Every structure is written in C-alpha cells, then in structure tokens.
Amino acid sequence: MSYINDITQFIFDGNRKLSTKATVVVFVIIGILAIDNILGFSYSYNTNNKIEQVQKLNSIINNPHTDIVTEGFAKRLRDDVINREDFITQSFSFVRNYEWISEENTQSNDVVRSDFWFHVSAGGWYYLVSILVVPLGLIIMFSNLNKLSFVFFFQRLGGALLICIIFWGSGFLFSGLCALIPQISHSTWLWNYLLNGAIQMLPILIVARMLESKKNEH
C-alpha cells in the first residue's frame, strides 16, 4: 500500500504547485476511465451484479408462496435494475438526445420555453469559459515557445481541463437551480431568462468585488 502513501504525500505536499497536482489528478482520472473503457472492468462488474439481482428477484416472483404485493414490488424492482444506467451513460444519452427547442405544451396556449436560451441565460458565461479555456490556454502556451516544456505543457493543460470541468459543472448546476423557478409570465419566458441571467451573474459579481477589495487592501 506504499503507492497510496506516495499519492497522499504528493497531493498534500505544500512545495508542489497546485497546477502540477491538478494535472496529475486530471490525467490519472482520464487514464483510469480510458483503461476501464477499454478493458470493461466496471461494465462486467455492473452486468454481473444485474444478473445476480435479476436471478434473486425472479426467484421471488416465481415463488408460489409470494403474495401479490411482494410480487409486484419485485417486478418493478427488476425493471429498475435492468434499465438502470451509470452516470457516464446517462450523461452521453442526455447530450445525444437533448432537444434545443422544448416540445412540451405544444397543445396548450402556453408559450413554449426555448431550452437553448434557458441554458444560455442560466449558465451561458460558465459554458463559454469551459469551452474557451482549453484553446485559449494552448494559444497562450504556444505564444511563449521559449518557456514551453513537456512538464509546463501538461501542467497548463491539466489546469485548463480542471477549470473546464468546474465551469461546465457550474453551468449545469445553475441551470438546474433556475429550472426550479416557475414561469413568471404565461405570455413569455423573457422574465425568466432575465432572472436566470441575474442569478448566474450574482456569484461572478461577488467574486469580482472580493478581488477588488483584496486588491485595495494591498
């Protein structure tokens, strides 16, 4: 278990830069996911678990002594087990099947909400940063070729990927929070979009104010 101690010491080593730690963590996670995807460890584990659970549930369902309530519960649970998807599969399914224009309430008089403008207003700045941070980081690195090295490149790339993940997740978080707000006006979603924009800008303004105050103190 010495490798665990080595990893722990590396992460909590105060002499190492945060960008170096972030690079190692990001690439370790990417490497683990890539190896798992190629060899199928988690897929085989989940599949075997599903088979065992379905077999146990089938034995309960086919048992003549099982009452109707328990049988119905076991059947619903069996369907849930069979149809359950992991987080990564759910994420890819969400992106692949995402509808930019919602088709809900097309038979009613309500104005249909645009999912595109909803996400732009609720987390547009965070999505934009997450999309631009990697190419901008590469442009900045290659504009300073005299300082460019293998370690420097992967430090900056790992830091950019970490920022990308954080901001993309923040965008989804704000979109989820804004989705809890009911439609303000039945004739338009404009007021919801404006409120979403104010909500997503609030933490940005707070952080900017804190940085300005800290700068003035010095």
Better-scored residue on pLDDT, 10 or 58: 58
Domain map of the chain by residue range? 102-218
Phi, psi of 137 (to 5 degrees): -60, -40
Show Cβ contacts of residue 36 under 8 Å, excluding neighbours closer than 6 positions: 42
Structure token pair of residue 213: 């105050």
Mean pLDDT computed over 179-200: 88
Cα dihedral 204→208→211→215 (10° resolution): 170
Full-prediction pTM beyond 0.75?
no
β-pair partners for 188: 185
Question: Do residues 106 and 112 touch, judged by C-beta distance below 8 A?
Answer: yes
State pLDDT tens for residues 195-216: 999 998 888 888 778 877 777 7
Ranges 35-39, 104-108, 154-158: which has the least confidence: 104-108
Beta bridge partners of 92: none
> Buried b vs exposed e over 192-214: b needs ≥16 C-beta within 10 Å?
bbeebbebbeeeeeeeeeeeeee
- Which pLDDT value is given to residue 8? 56
Q: What are phi and psi of 52, to 5 degrees?
A: -65, -45
Q: According to the model, what pLDDT value does residue 52 have?
A: 92
Residue appearing with tokens 């990001």: 26
